[in-house]
Amino acid sequence: MYATGLDIGGTKIAGAVYDNVGTELTRIIEPIPKDYALFLQLCVNMVERLDQACGAKASVGIGMPGVISRDGNTFYAVANIPFLRDGHPFADDLTQHLQRSVRVANDGQCATLAEAFEGAGQGANTVFGITLGTGVGGGAVVNGHIISGRHGMAGEIGHVALPHASAEDGEPLPCKYCPTGCIEGYLSGAALAKRYERLTGDNLPVADIAARAGSGEQAALQVVDAYCRGVAKAISAVLHTYDPDIVIISGGLSVLPNLLRLVNGYVRDYALFKDIETQVVAAKLGALSGLRGAAILGQQG
């Protein structure tokens, strides 16, 4: 059985079809159109092109940013594709055009699904994925299936209040969804850069701050250490709600020097008890995990 995944990003749609052992056969990328009719037609066209590439009608799964209902027809928050908030039943429309079932989920949830099946979470029953980058996202997979919740926002760890917040965490950046501050306000890339600027007066990109920490600069090391303690505090909320076997970290900030070592050390300071067995590990599948996870989602029907 062949499986097609579409990964809808900020400006582009990536599509790929996989064979029954998960080998990618073909991948295509297209820019996102400006209105719903063209967007829908492009998604249909991409799936049909991938069908032609594998010589069969593949199952279809789609991952995209935002809070999306379980049926894939209601979009509560999709900043990069505003026309999807106009009430279009996206999954139903695709199903009608393609004459097969279509599954739609948040891209972070899809990435966690891929890691659970083929990446760092293989063999674990309860997997929680956290993306640390421009924003902070997450997703939960239990027994091989995404936990989406009633409105599709299960796992949106970025918009939870930071547990154990204190002066050492600094001031969070504002968030339109969380006026009193949230995990994303403390742990986004912009928040890390702002923390470094407050300490040193230098406005630097995260990559430069990471490089300075790697070379031993004390200010950068101090900022990275405080950031990792903040990540550990955020993970304590995950531990106390999902109690996962494993927490998988991905995203641009996951490569900060010593992040995993520091987070695994600090997380026990904020857990209900010290001898927790949950490990915090790095993702294995990289940037294509969302695409692969979307294909797996489609296979699940």
- Residue-wise pLDDT for 237-275, tens only, equals 999 999 999 999 999 999 999 999 999 999 999 999 889
Whether residue 10 is predicted with pLDDT greater than 90 in this model: the reply is no
Residue 132 makes CB contacts below 8 A (sequence gap 6+) with: 187, 189, 231, 249, 250, 251, 252, 253, 254
CA distance 295 to 285: 14
Quote the pLDDT of residue 114.
98
pLDDT class of 107 with cuts at 50, 70, 90: very high
CA distance 246 to 67: 23
Whether residue 79 is predicted with pLDDT greater than 80 in this model: the reply is no
- Cβ atoms of residues 224 and 210 within 8 Å: yes
Burial category of 265 from C-beta neighbours within 10 Å (exposed 0-12, middle 13-18, buried 19 and up): middle
3-class SS of residue 279: strand
Mean pLDDT, residues 155-182 taken together: 90
pLDDT class of 199 with cuts at 50, 70, 90: very high
Least confident of 65-79, 117-131, 139-153, 287-301: 65-79
Dump strand ranges (E) for 24-66.
24-31, 59-64
Give the domains, in start order, of the chain with CATH numbers: 3-111+288-299 (3.30.420.40), 124-283 (3.30.420.40)
Residue 187: what are its φ and ψ, rounded to 5°? -120, 5
Four-point Cα dihedral 212, 131, 241, 298, nearest 10: -160
pLDDT class of 77 with cuts at 50, 70, 90: confident
pLDDT class of 301 with cuts at 50, 70, 90: confident
Quote the pLDDT of residue 86.
86
pLDDT class of 180 with cuts at 50, 70, 90: confident
Whether residue 178 is predicted with pLDDT greater than 80 in this model: the reply is yes
Whether residue 89 is predicted with pLDDT greater than 90 in this model: the reply is yes
Of 270, 193, 199, 283, the closest CA to residue 231 belongs to 270
Beta-sheet pairing, 3-8 with 102-106: unpaired
pLDDT class of 80 with cuts at 50, 70, 90: confident
Mean pLDDT, residues 129-141 taken together: 94
What sign does the CA torsion over 63, 146, 236, 159 have? positive
Give pTM, 2 decimals: 0.93
Quote the pLDDT of residue 60.
99
